[in-house]
Amino acid sequence: MVNNIFKKIINKEIKSNILYQDNILTAFEDINPKTPVHILIVPNIFIKNTNYITQNNKYIFGEMFLLAKKLAKKFKINKTGYKLIINCGKNGGQEVKYLHMHLLGGVKIKSIV
């Protein structure tokens, strides 16, 4: 049983500003925001990172992108633009070993590629 910070937020064991929750996903504000809008979108079931997506759970990616679109509209960054980031593994910048998507916006974001 995984019991890291994201799972504790999903289970409401840790106080967080949850913006959305259903039976598949939870979205909440990042505690250390890099932009005016910085939301984390996580699956409610544990998936370590993108290397662990399978035929049985691949639908989660689609759900994450649809929720990002919905939240971008809610926070009025859908027309000006936003960035979605999924880090994978230590060298990919993943700090929490739990699949998550960053929704960033509210300012112009520089690209590194």
d(CA 85, CA 104): 8
Question: What confidence tens digit (pLDDT) does each residue in 27-56 have?
Answer: 999 999 999 999 999 999 999 999 999 999
pTM, full prediction = 0.94
Question: What confidence tens digit (pLDDT) does each residue in 84-96 have?
Answer: 999 999 999 999 9
What confidence tier does 113 reach under pLDDT thresholds 50, 70, 90?
low
d(CA 84, CA 42): 13
The pLDDT assigned to 1 comes to: 59
The SS3 of residue 26 is strand
- Judge whether 40 and 28 are in contact, CB under 8 Å: yes
In sign, the C-alpha dihedral spanning 32, 41, 51, 84 is negative
Question: Could you give the residue numbers annotated as active site?
Answer: 100
- Judge whether 45 and 85 are in contact, CB under 8 Å: no
- DSSP H helices, 1-113, are 5-10, 59-74
The pLDDT assigned to 110 comes to: 81
d(CA 63, CA 43): 9
